Amino acid sequence: MTIRPLRFLGDPILRTPCDPVVRFDDALARLIADLLETVQEPGRAGLAANQIGSSLAAFSYNVDGRVGYLINPEIAELSGTQSGPEACLSIPGVSAERGRGAYAVATGVNLRQEPVSVAGAGELARCLQHEQSPAIKRGASASCSPPLRVFWNSVPRAVVCRPPQVLQEAVRRRHH
């Protein structure tokens, strides 16, 4: 297992929809192990595979002592509403108010290709919804709140990824 470096705003892999997982092999097992180790760094609740450089549809979560992963995730159920600040590890130092379902059920499979279901309310529900978006149909900007998405989509695709401090400064300049 390895704690992998994060990909930041401007990295093309974050704008690209993830590929469904079709090969369940040692490489996938290493990716999942890395996702699980990387998401357990302090201050992290969820991590999509594209945020560590993989184009595969998978994510890990670490919320209130619950740590796990889903491969080929989908949101199966949403109910209620909640609103609160939400951030993205790939856009450090920036958060925005975002409405989400108060309760969510996400489904997928594990490394043995067995069906898995993860259900939760509050922060876990928010995490499941946030991480499922880039892991499935859209790039990472899809899971961002509208203000973050406007900023995200305004960055040219050719921008080279920058360290978090540079991104934070760019955000401050843009909004002042």
Q: Which of 37, 41, 86, 131 is catalytic?
A: 131
- Would you state the structure tokens that stand for residue 114, as one six-digit string? 């067995």
* Cα pseudo-dihedral 154, 156, 157, 161, rounded to 10: -100
Of the candidates 148, 114, 119, 121, the one whose C-alpha atom is nearest the C-alpha of residue 134 is: 148
> Known catalytic residue: 37?
no
Distance (Å, whole) CA 6 – CA 60:
14
Distance (Å, whole) CA 65 – CA 2:
20
Centre a 10 Å sphere on the Cβ of residue 80 and count the other Cβ atoms it contains.
Answer: 11
Distance (Å, whole) CA 38 – CA 30:
12
- Which are the catalytic amino acids? 131
